[in-house]
Structure 1
Amino acid sequence: MKAVYKNLALILSLVFTLSIIGLAYYLYIFPERIANQTHVFSLMDIEALRPVLLELYTFCGVSLIIGFLAIIMLIFSKNSENDSNVVYIEKFKDSKKDKSQDFNNESKKAEVSVELTEVAQALSKQKDNKKKAELLLSTVAGKLEASQGAIFKAGKEGDKNIISLYASYAFVLPESQTVSYEFGEGLAGQVAKEQKLINISDIPEGYITILSGLGEAKPSYLIICPIKKDDQLVGVVEIASFKKMGKKEEQLIEDAMSLIAESLSEKGQKVNPEK
């Protein structure tokens, strides 16, 4: 309905402008028409009327200019109002988008919180620290549909900072063999050095291989996360999966690993990656 009124206003403005132009032209030929049509006075007498006619023409010209300016200002004000409405609508859309994103983030945090409670309940039944770590890996892997996991414990070997395999899930390794990395060595060692989580979607060739009764397969996604206790590194966890893992999964891994940070710090040395 507003569009109809707007179009009607523009049409009436155009008609008004044309009528003013027509009136100005008619006033211009008005003296000659009086002389030719009525014969009340001759064309020679028109010269005597010039001062009066000039005043009339001036008045009509000023009125015409004012009318044009009014119409132009009306059109510009309408366009400005439309632009303001567009800006307002865009801001409203952005606001809704931000609120929707905030809601999604809060929803993800709520989901992580529920899953973390379930993980904590499962761990409360286990007393042995190493078995607790293995249970944690198994539970988290089940939540994330992950295919493999490993927890490395931070420590010292001489004057070197290292991380050593502490617990694993679906990790093929002979019992007599140990796995350890110096800080900065490999992906896990680099995470231990920088103490920053990494989420990889292009795992280096040969880095991880999943063995099953159906053969071997290479996972597509890998999260490596530092485990901290009182802002000190106590370990590193690796979670590999064939399924993509995002922010929600990263948050779950970080929060879940905090449940065993205390046990990893027991009977072990907290290390400083800068040394």
Structure 2
Amino acid sequence: MKNLLTYLFIVSVGLFLFGCDKPAPTELIDDTDLAEYEILGKDINDEFYSNGFDTTGITQDLQELPNLIAISGIKATDIHGNTDKFSFAQSIFFDRTKEILSPGGRLLGFKSVIPGIVSFDNIVSRVVPFHIRYRENGVLRDTTLGNKYVLFSGRRGNMDNFRYRHNSHMNFHINVFFGEQVSFDIPTPIEITGDVEILGSRNQDNLRALLHWNRGNTHDITIVIGARLRDRDLIMPLYRVKTRDDGSLIIPPRFINQIPYQHFDRIVFTFIRRFENTINTNSGDLRVSSQSIHSIIVNLP
């Protein structure tokens, strides 16, 4: 299953989970012919990248991530039912001849570079450091792969003057240093709005989640299920579900019941409706991703 591109902020916590020194194999479970489940969380005590699961929508393996252009319209609903809306855009370009290694010689990714001036809908992106976090020999470390381009509206629209427009087109433009200009439009999907209802009880071993969302203009959607650690403000990705964009899904007890309440106190359901395309270029693959995202936090019974 191809890597999930998703999104990046609100709590900027979360991670793509691996074994201690190398990626663990992904376990796939076929639930029905309508949904495909992928287990993400292998070890709640180990984390590889801190930016793998957050509220901008990207769970990612940085060793394999291609050059990326991603725009997101994001909603986040808290435990009290309050919803914030914000917009996010980022573009990352890698020089794959320059590896970034940990002190122990572990490949973390490739150096990210700034090839020109990038804008979305005629708004020039900011250049910011591309920070990652990783664990080596039991120690949590951080480093910088280079720089990347970012636009972020802020949770109340008080940062960059950038707004994601659903069910439309948004323009990407790069003025390459000492080179050509490249410009194209990126289609955006219909806005997704989800709803979560927890059914059953843990004591009866039938705890499950009933999910609803508005139908859209894509064949399928992705739902990422994460949980918040009790002792840390950290959301860990547990499952990823690919299902038809038909408006409803029941997450069965064998997934919800297995989330240990001794470690986690809340569940985060992230609904993602995405348009995505990978383009082959002379500089390597370029992934263009446009997504509508709605994250909903509920208590874990």
> Which structure features the higher share of helix residues?
1
Note whether the superposition's TM-score is higher than 0.5.
Answer: no
> Which structure features the higher share of strand residues?
2
> Which structure ranks higher in relative contact order (CA pairs < 8 Å, sequence separation ≥ 6)?
2
Which of structures 1 and 2 has the bigger CA Rg?
1
With the length of structure 1 as denominator, give the TM-score of the two structures.
Answer: 0.25
With the length of structure 2 as denominator, give the TM-score of the two structures.
Answer: 0.24
